[in-house]
Amino acid sequence: MRVGLCFDGFYSIQEMIELARLADDIGMDSIWMSDHLCFRDSMTTAMALLASTKQIKVAAAPASPYSRNPIITAMALATMDEFAPGRVIGSPGTGNAAALKEAGMESPHPLQTMREYVEILRRYLKGDTVSYQGKMFHINGAKMGFVPAAPIKMYITAVRSRMLQLGGEIGDGVLLSAGCAPGYIRKCADDIAVGAAKGGKPAQHVEVAGFVTAAVADSAKEAIEANKHFLAYIFRNVHHAENIRLGGGKVDQDGLAAAVGKRDWEAAKKFISDEVVFAHSVAGTPGDCAKQLDAFTKGGLGLPIILPTGTQEGRMRVVRMAREVIG
């Protein structure tokens, strides 16, 4: 089985490099560096990860059109690919609307913005002179001074139905958020297939990738508590409401958002029940986690991307656990 690794940027670059080297050694498919505002930068970290590994592919996800102009993103992707040819994945996505708003950035017209952004990125990376007058972007003849030798695959980050369909239509793959329950993943895969058909391609030509939050510990309780922190961070977003429903649990998202807004993590974790943890992540011993991951691949993930949580040692154990899954 192909398995990826996700870093959330909440811990040090030195630790991420150590984990990346282990992932490279055991044959993991790819590393996906999440772009969480106010934490470690995804693009500079991705370059450090490429420099510290030999064969594993690396993506900075998402590259948001609201925080990164398309020429800046194209320059970064092309630079990384020049350094490590064939090991770079593009992953455009609108980003976390709540976090963008906190930082003073609005995110209007996400579907139109993403359609234009991906088209412009591809044109830049082909070496075109780009003159583009769209609804969201206006470009007046910019042209890259160097380009990748081969096309860089674009995985569109998506959670909601219409964005999933757009990802199926215009993407080489679609990247699902962490915390998606298997039942929601099945629904996402159906939406992606609808979009692929609109784009005139078979559904199997669009890979479904997704982050799976994972905690490994000798104590199930310790692993569950480790995952609650991250699930609290992402489930404050209203776009996860249907995902939570299809996972079979209940979360007071308004109360959760208020707690996270105050950075009161102990209060926030109380909104995430043990049942929600098991429905939306994997937690337990290495063997438990390897077995639980099956539900997510059967739900439709072609590429499960493990997001380690917990202590530094716990995160190392999560990466080692992937060795059992890869086989």
pLDDT in tens, 178-235: 999 999 999 999 999 999 999 999 999 999 999 999 999 998 899 999 999 989 988 9
* Cα–Cα distance measured from residue 41 to residue 37, given in angstroms and rounded to the nearest whole number: 8
Q: How many helices and strands in the chain, by DSSP H and E?
A: 14, 11
Average pLDDT, the chain: 96
Q: Closest Cα to residue 184, out of 135, 139, 228, 239?
A: 239
Lowest mean pLDDT among 21-25, 260-264, 270-274: 260-264
pLDDT of 98 higher than 90: no
pLDDT number for residue 20: 98
pLDDT number for residue 31: 98
Tokens of 45: 């970290």
Tokens of 38: 């106010």
- Note the pLDDT tens digit of each residue in 24-81: 999 999 999 999 999 999 999 999 999 999 999 999 999 999 999 999 999 999 999 9
* Cα–Cα distance measured from residue 65 to residue 83, given in angstroms and rounded to the nearest whole number: 24
Residue with tokens 């003849």: 141
pLDDT number for residue 54: 98
Q: How far is CA 63 from CA 14, 181, 256, 300, in A?
A: 22, 24, 26, 24
Q: How far is CA 220 from CA 224, 278, 286, 294, in A?
A: 6, 11, 11, 18
pLDDT number for residue 97: 87
Question: Who has greater pLDDT, 99 or 228?
Answer: 228
Residue with tokens 């088209």: 119
Long-range contacts of 235-242 (CB under 8 A, 24+ apart): 235/179, 235/271, 235/272, 235/276, 236/98, 236/260, 236/261, 236/268, 237/96, 237/97, 237/98, 239/97, 239/159, 239/160, 240/159, 240/177, 240/179, 242/184, 242/187
| Inter-residue contact 20 to 53 (CB < 8 Å) | yes
Confidence of residue 7 (pLDDT cuts 50, 70, 90): very high
How is 162-188 classified by DSSP, letter by letter?
Answer: HHHHHHHHH-SEEEEPTT--HHHHHHH
pLDDT of 327 higher than 80: no
- In the chain the domains, ranked by start, together with CATH numbers, are 4-219+283-326 (3.20.20.30)
Q: Which amino acid is at 201?
A: K
pLDDT of 308 higher than 90: yes
